[in-house]
Amino acid sequence: MSKNTGSIVHESLDALFEDSSFLPELQNEEREKALRSIRSILSTPNHVYKSFLRLPLNNGEIVRIPAFRVQHNNILGAYKGGIRFHETVNEDEVINLATLMTLKNAVHDVPFGGAKGGVIINPRNFENEELNLICKKYVRYFSDIIGPDKDIPAPDMGTSEREMDWMMAEYKSIHPGESYLGSFTGKSIVNGGSLGRKTATGKGVYYSFRYMLYDFLNQNKDWLGSQNNQYANKLIALKNKPLNIAIQGFGNVGSIIASEAFRCPYLENKIIAISDRNVTLFHSDGLDITKLINYTQGNYGDLPKNEKELEKANISAKIMPRDDLLTLDVDVLFLAALEDQIHMNNMNNIKTKVIVEGANSPITGKADLFLNKKKKIIIPDILANAGGVIVSYFEWMQGRDTKFYTEDEVNNQLFEKMKKTFEIVYPKYFSDHFSLRENCYIQAVMKLSIVLYKQGKLY
Ligand code: NAD
């Protein structure tokens, strides 16, 4: 587990130990013992599975590809978490991401546990038939441990609805006569996917921000003013102000954040910078997001990266080095690319007032501490990017009922579910000394602990 997730789980338990309303039936030595047990349970995964998938390449060579499935905890329901295809996948990262899934589901009250999968490949280096075989092999090698009531994978970096369709089809072949629609989520609509699933993470990320800067701020302005707290003062200072926004990453999550921000009727947003794996595009008057989305759709997801491509996209922008986006003087920075983007070496240069984490763990533990000391408002991954798993839960329910919701129904239920969490954690954040991430972890750990205790798992 990364130091970040692990240490915050420990700190959450320390905070809960002091809270007399938390499990009041446990006192003194019994309380200490119970908290040590919870610490031990939540800081380790239930299972770590590793296989080397045997893959005959199209050129006749056989290669063995390392693949993981980590099941962290299932006290709240079946294990749930994406499968990542990326060359940097490693066991610690998969364990950390599985842990984050347990906590994310707990804080948003989604009845699933936490899991994660990973395959160490760069999918761009494989032909489609080879990728199809990798997906089938992943399901075959892990077929005993996955399923609609055991462990339900979903897409993550490097995988999409295409891979989920392939995997579900393989699951169906291996388990004839059994229900299969709930075995994978993030599938295509024609294969039992949910309307609104593709946009859910990006929409949820933007909503976590909009809810704080518009709904929560407007409804609680006087209360926030009375808190005399630096986070609350910072938030109030952003009220009724045009907001300069930068977005790192322009894939599934980043492009939806951008389009939500671009056409948001509630806030005066100006997206002055976006970046992808190649470049940063900047315009102080704001970028035309609709044109950029149209361009990326015809160009393998990449933004224009030179003057010729900008002209082709009919976009006026300055091309800057990719990582310059992170240190721009903006009001809000959305991180929607990769892990560890703000770290020891660039944390001193971060000028934005608000950071929203669309990606998982885009800020290292040390940088997170540093930025919190600087009183930057950070809306963390566990809170902001749960839209995907929430709509996955809706997809799983729809697959079981074989009754499907409209896109508006999905979006409305997504916002309602996230709002319930915001209503718990935002007031706490603006009135106590914990960061928003710590508040979310405390909330998640509290729920998991109470369920563990009530199910008799602490004996
Ligand atoms: P994606 O592959 O669709 O897009 C990633 C984007 O990041 C691309 O535009 C890519 O060019 C860009 N990028 C890569 N390296 C970069 C760099 N160094 N600097 C700037 N940009 C860079 O992936 P996605 O689905 O949008 O996921 C983005 C992040 O969000 C990942 O960390 C993922 O784990 C997380 N996430 C995704 C979902 C989901 O539903 N897709 C859910 C939760 C979390």
Backbone angles phi, psi at 334, to 5 degrees: -95, 130
Position 423 pLDDT exceeds 80: yes
C-beta 336 within 6 A of ligand 1: yes
C-beta 34 within 6 A of ligand 1: no
Topology match between the domains 45-180 and 198-386+420-443: yes
Q: Say how many Å lie between the CA of residue 253 and the centre of ligand 1.
A: 6
What average pLDDT does the segment 271-297 reach? 97
Distance between CA atoms of residues 238 and 213, nearest Å: 8
C-beta 283 within 6 A of ligand 1: no
C-beta 338 within 6 A of ligand 1: yes
Q: Which of 6, 41, 391, 402 is nearest to 204 (CA)?
A: 391
Out of 252, 257, 341, give the residue to mutate to test ligand 1, the one with the largest number of ligand atoms within 8 Å of its CB.
252
Distance between CA atoms of residues 371 and 368, nearest Å: 5
Chain segment 152-172, per-residue pLDDT in tens? 999 998 999 999 999 999 999
What per-residue confidence (pLDDT) applies to 370? 97
Alpha helices in 211-251 (DSSP H): 217-219, 221-226, 230-237
CATH architecture of 45-180: 3-Layer(aba) Sandwich (3.40)
Chain segment 46-70, per-residue pLDDT in tens? 999 999 999 999 899 999 999 999 9
Look up the CATH superfamily of 198-386+420-443.
NAD(P)-binding Rossmann-like Domain (3.40.50.720)
Any idea where the domains of the chain sit in the sequence? 45-180, 198-386+420-443
Compute the radius of gyration of the chain from its Cα atoms.
22
Distance between CA atoms of residues 104 and 114, nearest Å: 8
Given the residues 104, 116, 136, 376, select the one marked as catalytic. Answer: 116
Atom of ligand 1 nearest to the CA of 249: 7
Q: Is 291 a catalytic residue?
A: no
Chain segment 34-47, per-residue pLDDT in tens? 999 999 999 999 99
* H or E element at residue 390: helix 387-401
Distance between CA atoms of residues 308 and 348, nearest Å: 35
Contacts (Cβ under 8 Å, ≥6 apart) of 67: 50, 51, 52, 53, 117, 118, 119, 120, 137, 138, 141, 142
Chain segment 384-405, per-residue pLDDT in tens? 999 999 999 999 999 999 999 9
Distance between CA atoms of residues 121 and 111, nearest Å: 31
Handedness of CA 6, 7, 11, 14 (dihedral sign): positive
What per-residue confidence (pLDDT) applies to 294? 96
C-beta 276 within 6 A of ligand 1: yes
Q: Say how many Å lie between the CA of residue 282 and the centre of ligand 1.
A: 19
C-beta 35 within 6 A of ligand 1: no
Protein residue with its CA nearest to atom 43 in ligand 1: 385
C-beta 358 within 6 A of ligand 1: yes
What per-residue confidence (pLDDT) applies to 2? 46
Backbone angles phi, psi at 358, to 5 degrees: -80, -40
Out of 80, 253, 341, give the residue to mutate to test ligand 1, the one with the largest number of ligand atoms within 8 Å of its CB.
253
* Reported confidence tier of residue 4, pLDDT bands at 50, 70, 90: low
For the sheet containing 114-119, what is the strand order? 47-56, 62-73, 114-119, 79-85, 151-155
Chain segment 95-111, per-residue pLDDT in tens? 999 999 999 999 999 99
Backbone angles phi, psi at 394, to 5 degrees: -65, -40
Q: Say how many Å lie between the CA of residue 296 and the centre of ligand 1.
A: 14
Q: Which two tokens stand for residue 25?
A: 């039936």
Position 1 pLDDT exceeds 60: no
